[in-house]
Structure formats: C-alpha cells, structure tokens
Chain A
Amino acid sequence: DVKVTQSSRYLVKRTGEKVFLECVQDMDHENMFWYRQDPGLGLRLIYFSYDVKMKEKGDIPEGYSVSREKKERFSLILESASTNQTSMYLCASTDRAYSNQPQHFGDGTRLSIL
C-alpha cells in the first residue's frame, strides 16, 4: 500500500516566518504534488514535480516555492508566511508521467499563521 507521509498534522507559525512542509512517499513515484484545501474552493494545485529537481507551477504558486532533491521527498516552502496562507495542505503522489493513475494523498498538514 502506498504511503504518503506529511511531517506534521498541525503547525502554528507567525507572520513573516519561513515555513517548511515536508512530504515523503515510499513507492518510488515520479510525480508529486502540493495542494491547499479550503472550504468552498476545493483543492487547488500549488506546485508539482515530475522528477528530481524538476518543478512546475500549479494554479496558485504565489508566495510558495518547492524543493525536490530526492525522488521520495517533496518540500513546500512558504518564503514569508502570511495569514492568508492559513489552510490545510495536502501532498500527493502518482506513478509515472503522462499517467491517468490515481493520486495517493497524505493526511494533510493544518497550518495556522498568526
């Protein structure tokens, strides 16, 4: 069974802090994704990566960056956290590029920016 692990379930940070959200998957998947989940807005794609050191902007990349130094790990970085980045963040992975395979999700990190 695919395991996608996000390092924190809950995180509280202050405005202006640099925040790191970590995600690790154990199935050697090529593709990894970061979403934020907000009521009434569904899941919105922030960034995704289809290979080590490769990244693509999603629909709402502003204020975020990502890092993929190893295949199994995909980090989301809030360069200078702001209150409007308070949200649930979901990481996901899929097998192979150009794939219609389903996404496997982590449990999510609920981030609060004070």
Chain B
Amino acid sequence: AQRVTQPEKLLSVFKGAPVELKCNYSYSGSPELFWYVQYSRQRLQLLLRHISRESIKGFTADLNKGETSFHLKKPFAQEEDSAMYYCALSARESSASKIIFGSGTRLSIRP
C-alpha cells in the first residue's frame, strides 16, 4: 500500500538549532518525493523535491531508498521556518499521477 508517515505532529526547537523533520514512505514503484510547506495564513506550496537535489531556504532532503525515508533537514533553524510541513509521494495511477500526503508536522521555532 502507498503510504507516507510523518511520526511527529509537533516539533519545537530553538532558533539556531538543527532541525530534522522525519518522513518515511511505503511504495512499490520508484518513488518521487516532495516536501510542501504552509506558512501561517498562506497557501500550501512546494518547498523542494528529491529529483531536483537542491537546497531551498537552507533546507535539504535526501532520499534513502534502503530506509525508505526522505527526512527534511536544516542545520540552523530560523524563526521564519515556523510552519506546517507535509511530506508527499507521487504515485502513478492508470491515468494520472496523484500525490499522497503525510499527516504533517508543525514546526515551531522558539526565539
């Protein structure tokens, strides 16, 4: 079964501390993974995707197929990183791709 698991509902860290938001997936095919972010009073938007292998706003995420994980990391948290983060998996169906989202992790950065 296709599934995305984010084990932490809430993660609270101090400004300047490292951040790691966990994401594990279950998918029989070749996975395409994303992180989406929703800042307060803003629409949900793409943060990064594994295929791009890029760093956005200091965040990186590496796909580990052995551990079926796609954890989001940032070495030094900033207050503006406080938001809701969703890990997502693109799953190919017969006619189109659909995205399966995790339950989300609320990141709170303390000053």
The residue that B95 contacts in the complex, of A33, A42, A54, A105, with Cβ under 8 A, is A54
- Are A42 and B102 neighbours in the complex by a CB distance under 8 Å? yes
The residue that B97 contacts in the complex, of A43, A54, A99, A106, with Cβ under 8 A, is A99
Looking at the assembled complex, report how far the CB atom of B32 sits from the nearest CB atom of chain A, in whole angstroms. 4
Looking at the assembled complex, report how far the CB atom of B9 sits from the nearest CB atom of chain A, in whole angstroms. 6
Given the interface pairs A43-B101, A105-B43, the reply to whether A100 lies near B95 with Cβ below 8 Å is no
Count B interface residues, CB 8 Å. Answer: 25
Q: Which of B13-21, B57-65, B68-76, B86-94 contacts A (4 or more CB under 8 A)?
A: B86-94
**For residue B11, which residues in chain A have a CB less than 8 angstroms away from its CB?**
none
- Are B49 and A98 neighbours in the complex by a CB distance under 8 Å? no
Q: Does residue A81 face the partner (Cβ distance < 8 Å to B)?
A: no
- How far apart sit A48 and B45, CA to CA, in the bound complex (Å)? 18
- How far apart sit A54 and B34, CA to CA, in the bound complex (Å)? 26
Q: Does residue B98 face the partner (Cβ distance < 8 Å to A)?
A: yes
The residue of chain A having its C-beta at the shortest distance from the C-beta of B92 within the complex is A98
- Are A100 and B86 neighbours in the complex by a CB distance under 8 Å? no
**For residue A90, which residues in chain B have a CB less than 8 angstroms away from its CB?**
44
The residue that B49 contacts in the complex, of A33, A44, A45, A100, with Cβ under 8 A, is A100
**For residue A99, which residues in chain B have a CB less than 8 angstroms away from its CB?**
97
The residue that A98 contacts in the complex, of B46, B51, B96, with Cβ under 8 A, is B96
Given the interface pairs A42-B86, A42-B101, A43-B101, the reply to whether A103 lies near B46 with Cβ below 8 Å is yes
- Are A56 and B43 neighbours in the complex by a CB distance under 8 Å? no
- Are B98 and A45 neighbours in the complex by a CB distance under 8 Å? yes
Interface residues of B in 11-62 (CB under 8 A from A): 32, 34, 36, 43-46, 49, 51
**For residue B97, which residues in chain A have a CB less than 8 angstroms away from its CB?**
31, 94, 97-100
- Are B46 and A102 neighbours in the complex by a CB distance under 8 Å? yes
**For residue B92, which residues in chain A have a CB less than 8 angstroms away from its CB?**
98
- Are A107 and B104 neighbours in the complex by a CB distance under 8 Å? no
Can you list 15 A-B pairs with a CB-CB distance of less than 8 A? A35-B101, A42-B86, A42-B101, A43-B44, A43-B104, A45-B98, A48-B98, A50-B95, A56-B98, A98-B92, A100-B49, A100-B97, A102-B34, A102-B49, A108-B43
